Every structure is written in structure tokens, then in C-alpha cells.
Amino acid sequence: MPDAIHVRLDALASPPPTAAARDSAAADELRAAWRARPNGRTFYLETFGCQMNVHDSEKVAGVLFARGYRQVDAPDDADLVLYNTCSIREKAAQKVFSRLGQVRGVARDGKVIGVLGCVAQQEGEQIFERAPWVRLVCGSASYRRLPELVAQLEAGDTRVTGLELDTDETFETDFTRRDNPFRAYLTIIEGCDKACAYCVVPMTRGPERSRTSESILREVRGLVELGYTEVQLLGQNVNSYRDPSPARLDFAELLEAVAEVPGVRRVRFTTSHPRDFTPAIVRAIERQPALCDHVHLPVQSGSSRVLAAMRRDYSREEYLERVAWVHRARRPISLTTDIIVGFPGETERDFEDTLSLLDLVQYDGAFSFKFSPRPNTAALRMPDDVPEEEKGRRLAILQERQREIQQARNERLVGQRLEVLVEGRSRPGQWAGRTSSNRMVNFTSPEPPALGEYREVVIHRAGPNSLVGEAVI
Ligand code: SF4
């Protein structure tokens, strides 16, 4: 595998933002690569779902850029229309078929319509039956074959598929087109070997396979050359990482190695599975200032009975043990989570256990959802016995409780100075950025800050989802 060239949108259009990056060989190389081979073809790419999908799309776009394609903003203007899909919730999957209906007319004009990602893997060739105008169906475990599949389409093949799941390969490309100019995503582990009863991922993304630590560190060094200071390591279970190279780094060691790359100022990682979360990860965060003060640790339910039914591989007590490691850390580490309400068999008592867990843990953020049965999962065979209205009631109660917790936790930050990475303007005269703990801060500044720089901000006000302050000169 040659060294990757990471193509960033602004780097393509203009010089990268830092002097070091402007002068770097990598930046020169990527400009040359971009200019070298335009082929007159265009693509449109829409992404649904999680950060893994967002980053997969960055790599898919990189593959197409490398073949000389240009990206456009509307399916009507594209030769190749791609949907990178998510099937974790029913609504997201439905949206894809609605999109496919909308582009039926476009397909009649000879354009190629393709479905990528989880819906592609889950529905497979049945997509051709439901939407015969689709010509490409490719699951994420087959993205390495994308250049070959696109070449087949260019050669006139009517239908091509990449649906193999049984792979030990990860999707590493020579080109990645990065959309976020401040935070670079890197996938370090793909797939999932767990079997949560509600989840389609093991069926759509295949078994767990990790990249070598050497390839990850090489990519991080390349990102620094391009001017990135913040990287986010991604994996469905990022902390299940197992280095396949002789270095045999475990996840905590990899975190430290990434944090020590000169020029890296912030390292994030998501999503951690509680079963594989270790005290060594907390110790690494304590030791390395570049590791952000934030852990996303999905709990899903506060009831051990429901966790067992969900096949989550930990109990409420085991989860709280991990939270205690985080709470005891020498520097404050913010905790966020994911919660499902209304899982089959969830009683009022189970739900109360989830609410009491919120009180105990004091999360800084939570993504919460009503259970919805998904195809090919164990939960599909369980009676979906919590009525929809009751699921809605529980969700509203949980979200209100969590909102109060976040408000109280954020109010404690009023008067503190926090370092913010400036990411944009929230309104005229006001800038927005994130703290190491992943809180959004909107702030004014006596001198306009540059995007991508770090600023100290004094917090004046707090809401449940963001802070307001003023930059310190
Ligand atoms: S750990 Fe569970 S929820 Fe997460 S991707 Fe694997 S099966 Fe899905």
C-alpha cells in the first residue's frame, strides 16, 4: 500500500491554511494529483447516518476524484449519483428508497445510480427488484473494490455489485477527500464482532478488522503536514482495536502514540464499547494532554435485565465500574452516551433504572431513541410489546431529565476559561468552536479569530447544549 494522499476540499481549491502545510510535499502532490486527470465526468454523493459513513464517503469521494471525477451538488448535474446509506433505524432506510424514487427520471437519462453502505449490504440484489434503475450496489465491506466496480460501469456493464462480507481487509485508499477542514476522521477498525440484539451492523459491515498501527500513524503524520491539529479515530467499537502488525499496540497504546505525533493537538475517539473499555484508556487520557477530555460510552439501558436481553455483554454494575474509572481521573473527563427506550420487555421498573443511571453518571450529553425493530436482528423475533405512545412518553421523560442534568453541569463552567478550536461563525460578530470536552461554545472576541486557531474563552452563560463566552486576548 503506498502512502495515502489526503485530499481536502480547501486544499484542492486553495493552498492549505498553515505555512508548513502550504510548503509540504504532500500538499504539492495532492494538487498535482487533482489537476492531472480530469475526465469530464461528475458525481453526486449523499450520506446518511453516522460518522463512520461520513468518513467512508470522504474516501469514496477520494476514489472518484482520483479517477478524474468532479463533485456536483445536484443529482440532475451528475453522471454518477450515489447514496451512502444507513439502516440502523427504519426511517433512515426508508429515506433511501424515497430518494431512489426521486431519481428514477434522472436514471432514464443514462446516469448511473448507486447504493452504497448498510442498506446496500442488507438488501443486496433485492434493491435491483425494488428500484430496477439502480446499477451499482456496494456494501461498506467491499469498498476496496470500488475502483474496479466504477471501471466496470464506465466500460458499460449494466449492473455491478460488491456484497462480500467475509473479508479481513479495511478500506484504505490512496486518496481521501476531507470535508471538515478542522477535524480529520480516520477509521482504525471496521466491522463488529459483537451481536447486540437490536443492531444490524454485524450483518452490514462484516467482522472486526483493524488497520496496522504503522498505517494509522503514517496517516496521522500526513494529516499534520496538511495543517490538521485535531484527529478523530473511528470504529464501530473503536476500543476493540487490535494491531495486526508485529508492534501489537493495544488501543490505549495506540492513543498515546497518536497523541505523541508532533503537531497533533487534539485526539478524539468514538465509539467505545463498555465491555472493552479499560483503566489503561483513562490512564492514557490522564498522561497525554492531546487526548481530549471526552469519552462516548453508549450504555443503551440502565437495567441489567434489559442489557442482558439486548446482549450487550455487561451489566449495570459493570458499566458503573467503568464510569467510576472515568470519574476518578486526575482531570475532568466528560461522558456522553446512547440510550434506547422501549426495548422489547422493558418495564416501567427497567425504565426507572435507566433514569436513576442518568442521575448517577451525570452525562454531559445523550443521544436517545425509541426502539424500532430492524431486519435480520435477534430483537425482530421478540414481541415489540411497549406501545408506541408509551415509548414516546418514556423518551420525553428521559430527554427532559437529561436536559436538566446538562444545564446544571454546564452552569458549573460559568466563569471558567476553556480552550476552544474556532470552527466557524454562529452569527454576525460571534464565533463558534468546541472545547476538548466536546462542548459547543459561541463567543465574541475583541479581535476576530482565525478559523482553525485555538482561543481561550471565558464562559459567561450556559444552556443545556452550548456555552456562551468571550475570547480572552
Ligand atoms: S457493538 Fe452492538 S450496537 Fe455496536 S455495532 Fe456492534 S452490534 Fe451494533
On the question of pLDDT at 21 being above 70, the answer is no
Place 399 in a pLDDT band, splitting at 50, 70 and 90.
Answer: very high
Residues 216, 251 contacting (CB under 8 angstroms): no
For the ranges 147-156, 252-261, 304-313, 359-368, the lowest mean pLDDT is seen at 147-156
Give pLDDT tens digits for 218-248: 999 999 999 999 999 999 999 999 999 999 9
Cα distance between residue 397 and residue 351, in whole Å: 10
Q: Compute the distance from residue 192 Cα to the ligand 1 centre, in Å.
A: 6
Check if 374 has its Cβ closer than 6 Å to any atom of ligand 1: no
Residue 91 has pLDDT above 90, yes or no: no
Ligand 1 nearest atom to the CA of residue 200, by list position: 8
Of 41, 193, 68, 57, nearest to 116 by C-alpha is 57
The average pLDDT across 111-136 equals 92
pLDDT exceeds cutoff 50 at 8: no
Average confidence (pLDDT) over 354-382: 96
Report the separation in Å between the CA atom of 4 and the middle of ligand 1, taken as the mean of its atom positions.
29
Percent of the chain with pLDDT over 70: 91
Tell me how far the alpha carbon of residue 322 lies from the centroid of ligand 1, in angstroms: 18
Q: Which of 50, 196, 376 for a ligand 1 pocket mutation test, highest count of atoms within 8 Å of Cβ?
A: 196
* C-beta 199 within 6 A of ligand 1: yes
**pLDDT number for residue 25:** 53
The confidence score (pLDDT) of residue 357 equals: 98
Query: For residue 386, is pLDDT > 80?
Result: yes
pLDDT in the model for residue 27? 52
Higher pLDDT among residues 297 and 16, named by residue: 297
155-173 mean pLDDT: 82
Nearest-CA residue for ligand 1 atom 2 is 196
In this prediction, residue 6 carries a pLDDT of 39
C-alpha span between 183 and 201 (Å, rounded): 25
CA of 255 to the centre of ligand 1 (A): 22
* Residue 166: predicted pLDDT: 73
Q: How far apart (Å, rounded) are the C-alpha atoms in residues 88 and 96?
A: 12
4 pLDDT above the threshold of 50: no
Ligand 1 atom closest to the Cα of residue 192 is 6
pLDDT digits over 203-215, tens only?
888 899 999 999 9
Q: Pick the residue with more confidence: 25 or 252?
A: 252
**Is a pLDDT exceeding 80 seen at residue 101?**
yes
User: How far does the centroid of ligand 1 lie from the alpha carbon of residue 375, in Å?
Assistant: 15
For 177, residues 6+ apart whose C-beta sits below 8 A from its C-beta are: 7, 8, 9, 12, 58, 59, 61, 62, 65, 71
Is the pLDDT reported for residue 22 higher than 50?
Answer: no
Q: What pLDDT is recorded for position 189? A: 95
- What per-residue confidence (pLDDT) applies to 324? 98
Per-residue pLDDT, averaged over 386-398, amounts to 98
- For 169, 250, 467, the CA distances from 208, given in Å and listed in that order, are 10, 15, 38
- Pick the residue whose CA is nearest to atom 1 on ligand 1: 194
* Average pLDDT across the chain, whole number: 89
The pTM score is 0.86
